Amino acid sequence: MLFLAVLGGGMLAGFLLRQKRALVEAAERLSSFAIYLLLFLLGLSVGGDEAIFSRLPALGLQALLLSAAAIAGSVALTALLNELPHLKKKGDAK
């Protein structure tokens, strides 16, 4: 829960300090850098761990199932917008 509090606290701080563009932009640049760095570290730990590396094909199949399910569920629920005319107006008339 601590991570969630840190993230929520950051959002609140960013919102309160949103007039200080230099600060927000610095946070944006730093977080992009941190994401790339951590992605690289993730790649390092995967490449250096034979157990994970050998599971990549299986993980790919799991990912395909999960992403297809996520898309199907999202599309199916939002198709309600087309079925219900008053919702369609709300969803589309922008």
Partner 1 sequence: MILEADPASYALALLLLLVGVTIGGSKETGSLVREAPRRILLLPALVVAGTLLSVALVSPLLPSLSLREALAVGAGFGYYSLSSVIAGQMGGATLGVLALLTNLMRELLTLLLAPLLARYLGGVAPIASGGATSMDTALPIISHFSGQEYAVTAIFSGIVLTVLAPLLITLFLSAGS
Q: Which residues bind partner 1 (CB under 8 A)?
A: 1-4, 6-18, 20, 23-24, 27-28, 30-31, 34-36, 38-39, 41-42, 45-46, 49, 52, 55-56, 59-60, 62-82, 87, 90-94
* CA neighbor of 80 nearest in space, from 69, 90, 68: 90
Q: How far is the CB of 57 from partner 1 (least distance, A)?
A: 11
Q: How far is the CB of 23 from partner 1 (least distance, A)?
A: 7
Q: 56 CB contacts (<8 Å, ≥6 apart)?
A: 46
Please classify residue 81 by burial: count the beta carbons closer than 10 Å to its beta carbon, then call 0-12 exposed, 13-18 middle and 19+ buried: middle
Please classify residue 14 by burial: count the beta carbons closer than 10 Å to its beta carbon, then call 0-12 exposed, 13-18 middle and 19+ buried: middle
